[in-house]
Chains A and B, each alone.
Chain A
Amino acid sequence: MTEEKTHHPEPSYLVDTGKYKGLMAWLTSTDHKRIGLMYMYAIMVFFSVGVILGVLMRMELYWPGQQIYGPQAYNGIFTIHGIIMIFTVVIPGLAAVFGNFSLPLMIGAKDVAFPRLNLFSFYLYVLGAAIALASQFMGNGPPDTGWTFYAPYSIQTQTNVVAAVFGAFVLGFSSILTGLNFIVTMHRMRAPGMTFFKMPLFPWSLYATAWIQVLATPIVGITLLMIIAERWLRIGFFDPSLGGDPILYQHLFWIYSHPAVYIMILPAMGVITEIIPTFALRRIFGYKAIAISSLAIASVGYFVWAHHMYTSGMSTTARWVFSLLTFLVAVPSAIKVFNWVTTMYKGSISVKPPFLFALGFIFLFMIGGMTGLSLGALATNIHVHDTAYVVAHFHYIVFGGVGFAFFAAIYYWYPKMYGRMYNIKMANWSFVFLFTGFNLLYFPQFIIGMMGMPRRYFDYLPQFTFGHQLSFWGGILLVIGFVIMLITLFSKKGAKAPDNPWGGRTFEWNIPSPPPVENFDIMPELGVNEGPYDYK
């Protein structure tokens, strides 16, 4: 081993070896690791834009009444915030960044199954994001429908809905191709000896995610096309003034957009499942239960969409069936949480930044999940429907869950990505700010939501002022934490990272940091009695 290390036979993937140099070498690269990093840079840029829009909203809500801009601008800002955060940040999110970077490394493959298709999906992503962003500046002003594009308003508003919807359509296409690529990769390119039930659990979660991407995204694709057709040709699918049915739109929209929540959260759960055994130095508890629970979430999660529509008008039977199914999804999610906690029990825990963020994830995800149950129950839902309570709930899942898992994943794989360490102390501080900021920002929203603060309102009654102000200061702390994180990661080069800084057991830790272009000099294998998490 030592002799091999002294003469790296292969240059790292960060060194340009092809016919192009610099930026062009990246933009034309079909290397899964480079594509993963390009997604990461793009997503961080979009995330920053979304954060700035979020802060703008909190500033406007600091006092009741108008502060810095008017209600129409507010409608535009929460719509753009939603479109950017949902379609360009959290839906591609972990799967596009760490799925691309880590999946082939973890299953012992040289690349994904279709490297050129992979680059093509990246460009589709960029194109879709560009169209969605452009929609904010072209035409008759930014769309003001909310990211859900609910009919009939999305048919009737004069703002630039068509471009935003088309951007979302293109982004969906990109998502489908990534999912397809991952499924084939996992079916065809696992290392010898790695059966499906010896595959690490992050790939397992990506597998479940990829199936949702493939099965659910086309439905929203066609729905978005129908919105465009209806706006251009006044058809009357959805708009009641044309004879259409707005509830039909809601069904078609949520058939995709609820499973999309699992497209976001499943890879996040996968990342946590990798981090916890590594830092507890224990084999994951309940391997099969975690693997199968991913598939269970994906399949049951496909059939819960109408819990977004309890107040829209549905038969009582439909409502309790969807409520029951919603409760069922909580079971596999809870299975995962119990297994994570049990893995830590009697482990040799070393609290490094990735582990801290993983703990943060479990805490926030539990709050988000439990409040999801109160929203899934029919009676309580009627009370808090369309209030700030819902806003708090889905931010706890989407930001507290997916966002924190994303940060955890960056801190976990950063040494592998760049071959450098970061300042651990700074990273811990970023956690302190992000975690306290997050809770201060969103927890008050639960309370004022229960008190009756509606979501998406520009103005509010004076009794909600204190809650909104707490949220504002939480938001400021959160931004500080994010900035500290960016400085920690990208300001200056840290010390050289060893191949395996955390003592991980999956394949990616056996190769140099950063990995060579072809990933493995000697293709890895798993023996009959070996598993993915064999800690001593």
Chain B
Amino acid sequence: MEHRDDIGAKLGMWLFIFTEILLFGGLFLVYAIMRSSYPDEFHQAAHHLNAFIGTINTVVLLLSSATVAMSITAIQKGNKKLAVILLFITLLCAAAFMVNKYFEWGHKIHIGLYPGSDLMVTLSHGQVMFFSLYYFMTGLHMFHLVVGGIILTIVMIKVKKGTINADRYVLLENGGLYWHLVDLIWIFLFPLLYLIT
């Protein structure tokens, strides 16, 4: 008999998500310290971020979280085709997010706002901290998004092949949990970086 423990697998995933939150927690802590040390500089620097693109990306990520959750319901009901389509939409959203980020970062780098640039050297320390944290936090988040995308691609192939099905879908659930984590972190990054101006 094959050993299988779905609850154990999910427990493991939750613990892993815990560690991821703590990983970002360190950065949020630094953000909090810097924000209280340099409130005015953070205020000025935040004006340089494009809240419109940020909002679009938030909507895109929320949508992708919804489709991943729906694909779990679809597989539970045995609708394999729908589950694949929903996962595909999730991946499209991830791609759209990346494209947006590319333009956002590209624009900032174009006007010389990046760590170590000539322009950055002239800014006050608080502003440098803001932009450094901006790149560090969104960069690390993007790395997680790419990893999540790879996981969901594997999951999608497995759904297609039928190894993930109505009887055993814990891998899809865990992939979905990870994707929600990626979403959740963005939900905190977005107001802290873009909206508090």
Contacts and interface: CB of A to CB of B under 8 A. Distances in A.
Contact of A218 (B8, B12, B22, B33): B22
Contacts, number: 83
A237 B128 contact: no
B11 A234 contact: no
A282 B73 CA distance: 55
Given A180-B12, A183-B15, A221 B128 contact: no
A103 interface: no
Interface in B1-27: 3, 5, 7-9, 11-12, 15-16, 18-20, 22-27
Contacts of A214: 15, 18-19
Contact of A180 (B15, B25, B29, B129): B15
Interface in A206-249: 214-215, 217-219, 221-223, 225-226, 229, 233-237, 243, 248
Interface in B87-113: none
A188 B5 contact: yes
The B interface, classified by DSSP as helix, strand, loop or mixed, is helix
Contacts of A234: 115-116
Contacts of A110: 3
Contact of B128 (A180, A235, A252): A235
B187 interface: no
Contacts of A114: 9, 12
Interface string A407-446: 0000000000000000000000000000000000000000
Contacts of A519: none
Contacts of B3: 110
Contacts of B23: 218-219, 221-222
B16 A180 contact: yes
A180 B30 CA distance: 26
Interface size grouping (class) on chain A: 20 to 34
Nearest to B26: A222
Interface in B22-42: 22-27, 29-30, 33
Contacts of B128: 235-236, 243
Nearest to A216: B22
A184 B11 contact: yes
A113 B30 contact: no
Contacts of B9: 114
Contacts of A189: 5, 8
A45 B15 CA distance: 32
B5 A248 contact: no
A181 interface: yes
A176 interface: yes
Interface in A225-278: 225-226, 229, 233-237, 243, 248, 252
A184 B18 contact: no
Contacts of A188: 5, 7-8, 11
A89 to B, nearest CB: 23
A184 B26 contact: no
Contacts of A225: 140
* Residue of B3, B8, B22, B30 ringed by the most chain A CB atoms within 10 A: B22
Interface centre among B11, B25, B140 (most CB of A within 10 A): B11
Interface residues of B, number: 29
Contacts of A233: 115-116, 132
Contacts of B29: 252
B48 interface: no
Nearest to A110: B3
B132 A113 contact: no
A181 B16 CA distance: 10
Contacts of A117: 12
A288 interface: no
A234 B117 CA distance: 10
A218 B5 contact: no
A192 B26 CA distance: 40
A219 B8 contact: no
Contacts of A113: 5, 8, 12
A187 interface: yes
A222 B19 CA distance: 11
Contacts of B136: 226, 229, 235
B25 A219 contact: yes
Contacts of A215: 18-19, 22
Contacts of B7: 188
B15 A218 contact: no
Contacts of A217: 19
Contacts of A222: 23-24, 26-27
6 pairs of A and B residues whose beta carbons are closest in the complex: A243-B125, A222-B26, A233-B115, A218-B22, A218-B23, A188-B8
Interface of A: 110, 113-114, 117, 176, 180-181, 183-184, 187-189, 214-215, 217-219, 221-223, 225-226, 229, 233-237, 243, 248, 252
27 contacts: A113-B5, A180-B19, A183-B11, A184-B8, A187-B8, A187-B11, A189-B8, A214-B18, A215-B19, A215-B22, A217-B19, A219-B22, A219-B23, A222-B23, A229-B132, A229-B136, A233-B115, A233-B132, A234-B116, A235-B128, A236-B125, A236-B129, A237-B30, A243-B129, A248-B30, A248-B33, A252-B30
